[in-house]
Structure 1
């Protein structure tokens, strides 16, 4: 009898193991797969390393749930994920500026969310220096979520299953602003995009190579664009004026520094996943890469703080534009955009 029970147990274990192994990668939930923070081989060390915010499956899952929780906003209609949509590389597709509670429109384009662990400042003007506190901007902005952290804490304390989720993540049913922000950071800091065709070519993976058009575009890009859009993040994280207007209607970086020399300057955006992150510029004025390239070719205006490297624009022929576009599309990381671990559950 004992032998029969043992055989049955072994068979059941084998079936369970076969089932687990047969699951596709996109069917694995955060609870089943150990969540890790991975640094691509062609990336430098990050600025944020989870040293004081231990990354766990439970913490990540809680952060993801909070990211997609619309009931945290003033009118229960807007979540972080409303403006940061995964299919658009965590920006807001086809919206010039962010759209928040009560259909309120902000004044700046929603930036994409990925590779945040390498940033030392956030938003178009660099007004926040800590990834963990950056969600407070959206939470309190009247045209975004329109609420406050105290209201959110009270809601979570009295709404199932949040007390249990906080206990799983942090060992206690206590809910406070610090734990809310830490859990959201466990989700957002793990959003690493570093597996595009460009990355695979740079790492010499699987014999992958650029096409002739992509290669020509990469050469042009290195000649004309990398002084601002530096590899591997395709931004140098600086603040510059690229001559969109003679006089900017948005003060930009000077709102933070108080310096006239920073008026109309904005953070150089990453070009990674640019195929999915339209519209472009801090105010979302351009809907296509063709418009962007033509701006640099013929539309740069001599604003007072215009970046010196753009004094004569960036002359580009029609062929050169097509080649640069071909290269820019190699920066698309489809695995990141389709990764169900980052999707709303």
Structure 2
């Protein structure tokens, strides 16, 4: 079987950039992004925003820069920690400026280039627009473009990076969002033991318990957690009891269609072992609790997904042994290379 890796091919190209008193020839290097052979096609259109070394570097700097927030502290990376697959491990709800707390759990940032909708409620369908939501949110980063652009224009490193990353060299919101998208597309988790098993690579051996769990997963879970990305990008009501204090109506906030009340995006399960707590509001803290919910905790709320209501019998039948095997399989999705890749780390 032919195998593929994420590799960098170097094709230098140049342009002239000038400062006040001198001119330099800057070099940027395209990054040839390769889709892993067990993945579906990219959903993100790289032809409209090709990834380059300097675009990626700029996106990474933006991702970890707390100065984008009104308090100078809450960067994207504050809530999206690499060691936890770029989620906020241990926090039920997102954390924001001046100690503010949101109403939803911080989702992992991985394999976003293969997804077609973003945020728990699908508030955007374009990766370049996704960062605007937390950036402008008064309870997350509480940022504004005018002050952020002014800050970057006064920062020599940003001035240089924008010149390197984009042919027009402009420091503006469009280039800022494009750079962040380049960084996020590169956050690809594709080297778990499961991936190596799928690609028949060294280190891809699964135990019998894990193989049994994979078979059970395909029978009972894969209709929603589809493909090797482990999401079908749909919105579903998975039968969580409604919290009356919040009454989060989910996808309805975007569509305003009654049939979309209490539906949330089906999350990817990659690196699920280390991204607790789970669900849109972080109410479940273990994988065992998640499977217990599906086996005997589903509530027949408005718009409950049809797959969870079999002629009045709610949930997914799962024995204790089956749960153990499915969890064993889910742990094969942990990608330690991704979690420790220095290209993505802040320091």
Bin the TM-score by the shorter chain. Answer: 0.7 to 0.9
The structure where strand makes up a greater share of residues is: 2
Structure 1 match to 2:16: none
Task: Tell me, yes or no, if the aligned pair for 2:64 and 2:78 is still in contact at 8 Å.
Answer: yes
Give unpaired runs (5+ residues) of structure 2.
1-26
Task: Tell me, yes or no, if the aligned pair for 2:31 and 2:51 is still in contact at 8 Å.
Answer: yes
Deviating beyond 3 angstroms after TM superposition, the runs of 4 or more aligned structure 1 residues are 31-36
Partners of 1:206 and 1:33 in 2: how far apart?
Answer: 31
Structure 1 match to 2:321: 319
Matches within 5 A, 1:103-182: 103-182=99-178
Residues 1:303 and 2:305 aligned together? no
Give unpaired runs (5+ residues) of structure 1.
1-30
| Deviation larger for 171-180 or 70-79 | 171-180
Structure whose CA Rg is larger? 1
| Deviation larger for 201-210 or 102-111 | 201-210
The structure where helix makes up a greater share of residues is: 1
Matches within 5 A, 1:231-250: 231-245=227-241, 249-250=247-248
Residues 1:219 and 2:221 aligned together? no
The C-alpha deviation readout for 1:212-255, integer Å capped at 9, x for no partner, is 11011111111111111112111111100011015771010000
Structure 1 match to 2:8: none
Matches within 5 A, 1:1-345: 35-206=31-202, 208-245=204-241, 249-311=247-309, 312-345=314-347
Task: Tell me, yes or no, if the aligned pair for 1:38 and 1:192 is still in contact at 8 Å.
Answer: no
Determine helix, strand or coil for the equivalent of 1:231: coil
Task: Tell me, yes or no, if the aligned pair for 1:246 and 1:304 is still in contact at 8 Å.
Answer: no
Partners of 1:92 and 1:36 in 2: how far apart?
Answer: 30
Determine helix, strand or coil for the equivalent of 1:189: helix
Partners of 1:278 and 1:251 in 2: how far apart?
Answer: 22
CA shift for structure 1 position 33? 9.4
Determine helix, strand or coil for the equivalent of 1:106: coil
CA shift for structure 1 position 41? 0.4
Partners of 2:111 and 2:203 in 1: how far apart?
Answer: 26
Partners of 1:162 and 1:143 in 2: how far apart?
Answer: 26
TM-score normalised by L of structure 1? 0.88
Determine helix, strand or coil for the equivalent of 2:271: coil
**Number of equivalenced pairs:** 316
The C-alpha deviation readout for 1:120-174, integer Å capped at 9, x for no partner, is 1110111101111111001100111001112211111112311111111124552
Partners of 2:242 and 2:46 in 1: how far apart?
Answer: 43
Determine helix, strand or coil for the equivalent of 2:209: helix
Partners of 1:261 and 1:323 in 2: how far apart?
Answer: 34
CA shift for structure 1 position 35? 4.0
Task: Tell me, yes or no, if the aligned pair for 1:136 and 1:149 is still in contact at 8 Å.
Answer: no
CA shift for structure 1 position 203? 1.1
CA shift for structure 1 position 52? 1.7
Partners of 1:232 and 1:318 in 2: how far apart?
Answer: 25
The C-alpha deviation readout for 1:251-309, integer Å capped at 9, x for no partner, is 10000000111000000011111011111000000111011011111100011211111
TM-score normalised by L of structure 2? 0.87
| Deviation larger for 156-165 or 169-178 | 169-178
